Chains A and B, each alone.
Chain A
Amino acid sequence: MTDAVIDTAPTPQAMEVSDTVAIQIQSMNKWYGEFHVLRDINLTVYQGERIVICGPSGSGKSTLIRCINRLEEHQKGKIVVDGTELSNDLKNIDKIRSEVGMVFQHFNLFPHLTILQNCTLAPIWVRKMPKKEAEDVAMHFLEKVKIPEQALKYPGQLSGGQQQRVAIARSLCMKPRIMLFDEPTSALDPEMIKEVLDTMIALAEEGMTMLCVTHEMGFAQAVANRVIFMDQGQIVEQNEPHAFFNNPQSDRTKLFLSQILGH
């Protein structure tokens, strides 16, 4: 269903990846009570990298990226985001969160605020930006996701695809250095998936560091420079997309790919 995007996107190699480390995760472990969700995760993400994380449901992919902005707490190991280590220090957490944008499966727009207010809220209160300036920034990004005309509506009046694009714009208004996407298209009707993926591709082309949990393999082939496959809380395989899809090494990866690409 996402074949169309492949033609329009440039090859992954065309986009620059610097050698500055954006996120460093070292032997990180996490438990939900007795359940060991994430096991010995080691991952280094460089500035400008676009990483797609896939895997069967319950494999811990969402939990992994939610650990990066501390929506979930890890119990062992080390996560360093943009030079700041995640600890219980609330100041550090808020600082990291303001540098890391996140887009959720269910959009999580604030239903009591207009689209514009959704976008200006964090810049005004966290970045202490004057209201006028925040509105200019918000309109700039709303234009970028191609819905400036909806600025004064409420989220409930928009379609799912539009809401998700607003959610992306809302994150971008904080001028984040890293963007996390947690299954951004899973809750959308098929006809709206493309508009959201197009927005994400445009973002990737500008060199944003992106970690994206998704099952959109067309998107992975088009923009990712690394695909990570997770199962049972572990990173099972990672490779550049061409090799990953055409020559998977582990049996689990092969099985997973045959299941999602099989029809």
Chain B
Amino acid sequence: MAEQDAFVRHEMLAPEAPPARETGATKWLRENLFNGWVNSALTVIAGYIVVSFILEIVPWFSNSAWNANSLAECREIAEGACFAVIRERWQQFLFGFYPSDQYWRPVLAFLLLIPALAPVLFEKVPRQTFYFTAAFPFIAYWLIWGLSIWYPVTAALGFVIGAYAANYASKQVSGVLSAGIGVLVAIIWWAVLAAPVGTLLNMILPIGLSSVESREIGGFTLTLILGVTCISLSLPIGILLALGRMSDLFIIKVICTGFIELIRGVPLITLLFVASVLLAYFLPPGNTFDLIMRVVIMVTAFASAYIAEVIRGGLAALPKGQYEAADALGLDYPQAMRLIILPQALKISIPGIVNVFIGLFKDTTLVSVISMFDPLGIVTPIRADADWNGIIWELYGFVALVFFVFCYGMSQYSQYLERKLQTGHR
């Protein structure tokens, strides 16, 4: 063994810039595309496929026809795509069979959706906008379905009255009981007083829009109604189910576990058939339980079961020490969950939750099997039309593109959220 001299460093070395070939585009190309002869060959082959695909598809777009009244006319004008069908039928794609002189109503509702969602999605939006967010469901309902404005107003009043009752009761009795009183008061209001009060107000001051049946609503309007409603309902319900399943209270645990397993073990289409056909047998005759409402309940139940399991995964991923630290500081269960556990568990669950949301959004097209005219359901009558018989790619491609835009948007938002909530390693 060689003799090792004693060594003491007197000057520390300063960091230097890396060699030129280790940075920039050259490095990226070499590492990712031409790293050895196998990779180089694969790069060339893949490049050839991509280029020939583009060469094939570009003429289809560039030779497309936008002005025609039938497929045959399209084919005379151009060899490529026949987008004229979308130009002619865009109203149906957007609104289904909604009365055409009332299109402004769903349009306004969706424009108002933007400020309503803003405070939920972005932290920088002033908190007062939440009041508008709370009012939005009632406004949107009134705009889309019409009838007297007083019915949604009295329905909204139920929440306000319930909240006041709970607040008043909380000064006399404990938290859980006062919440129960609030719920009870609200239910009494809705069941007994809301409808007569609404009718009375309507007689005094009739403000209303012409009524639109659920059957007439279709296209992307229907997709958005179902998507937005079910997404915003299934998250809170899913959280409660997840907490219930993790609960120490046996009855609550059994109910939540049973609900999740039951709903998750059944195909969504089955639930939709139950909503459209079977419920009509079970409900009293002559009921006016709206079809879209029934679908919303079923889709929400389905999605919330999935969300619950995703969130349960997030809860299980949290170190036990977080629960213990929250307990040791004297926080009670609701506080510990709301302030410590859920913010972290939800953050971990974001990719899974958004996964369920995107799935749910696309699953809304399944309502076409119970003869509702969502964008996919609209395609069928268009293709059955003698003028457009034989057209496929343009229609499904258009629907796919719109869905992609929405789903990609959700995905991007989730990544933004993950970056924003990044607070260093745990």
- Residues of A whose CB lies within 8 Å of any CB of B are 69-71, 90, 94-95, 97-98, 100-102, 104, 106-112, 121-122, 125-126, 154-157, 170-171, 174
Contact = CB atoms under 8 A, between A and B. Distances in A.
Given A112-B423, A125-B335, A154-B423, A106 B321 contact: yes
Interface stretch (B22-30, B164-172, B338-346, B371-379): B338-346
B324 to A, nearest CB: 5
Given A97-B330, A98-B330, A126-B331, A108 B324 contact: yes
A171 B332 CA distance: 16
A108 B339 contact: no
Given A106-B321, A110-B322, A156-B425, A121 B330 contact: no
A112 B325 contact: no
The main secondary structure of chain B at its interface with chain A is helix
Nearest to A98: B330
A74 B327 CA distance: 17
12 contacts: A95-B330, A98-B329, A98-B330, A109-B325, A111-B423, A112-B423, A121-B339, A122-B329, A126-B330, A156-B424, A156-B426, A174-B329
B329 A97 contact: yes
A159 B406 CA distance: 42
A112 to B, nearest CB: 5
B328 A69 contact: yes
B423 A125 contact: no
Contacts of A111: 344, 423-424, 426
Contacts of B347: 112
Contacts of B329: 97-98, 121-122, 126, 170-171, 174
Contact of B340 (A90, A95, A110, A156): A110
A112 B331 contact: no
B75 to A, nearest CB: 60
Nearest to B330: A98
Given A98-B330, A126-B331, A108 B344 contact: no
B332 A112 contact: no
A71 B421 contact: no
A108 B423 contact: no
A107 B340 CA distance: 15
Given A71-B327, A97-B329, A154-B423, A108 B322 contact: yes
A155 B424 contact: yes
B254 to A, nearest CB: 21
Contacts of A106: 319, 321
Contacts of B330: 94-95, 97-98, 122, 126, 174
Contact of A112 (B324, B327, B335, B343): B343
A106 B319 CA distance: 10
Nearest to A121: B339
Contact of A156 (B327, B332, B421, B423): B423
Interface residues of B, number: 22
A95 B330 CA distance: 7
Given A97-B329, A107-B321, A157-B424, 17 more contacts: A70-B327, A71-B324, A71-B328, A97-B327, A98-B329, A102-B328, A104-B324, A104-B328, A108-B322, A111-B424, A112-B347, A112-B423, A121-B331, A126-B330, A156-B423, A156-B425, A156-B426
Interface in B294-342: 319, 321-322, 324-325, 327-332, 335, 339-340
Contacts of B325: 102, 104, 108-110
Contacts of A101: 328
Contacts of A90: 332
Nearest to B320: A108
Contacts of B343: 112
B323 to A, nearest CB: 9
B328 A112 contact: no
B142 to A, nearest CB: 38
B424 A154 contact: yes
B409 to A, nearest CB: 25
Q: Which of B339, B421, B425 gathers the greatest number of chain A CB atoms within 10 Å?
A: B339
A243 B234 CA distance: 65
Contacts of B331: 121-122, 125-126
Contacts of B328: 69, 71, 97, 100-102, 104, 171
A104 to B, nearest CB: 6
A112 B424 CA distance: 9
Nearest to B341: A110
Nearest to B326: A110
Q: Which 10 A-B pairs have the closest CB atoms?
A: A156-B424, A98-B330, A108-B325, A108-B321, A122-B329, A97-B330, A102-B328, A154-B423, A126-B330, A111-B426
A107 to B, nearest CB: 8
A122 B335 CA distance: 10
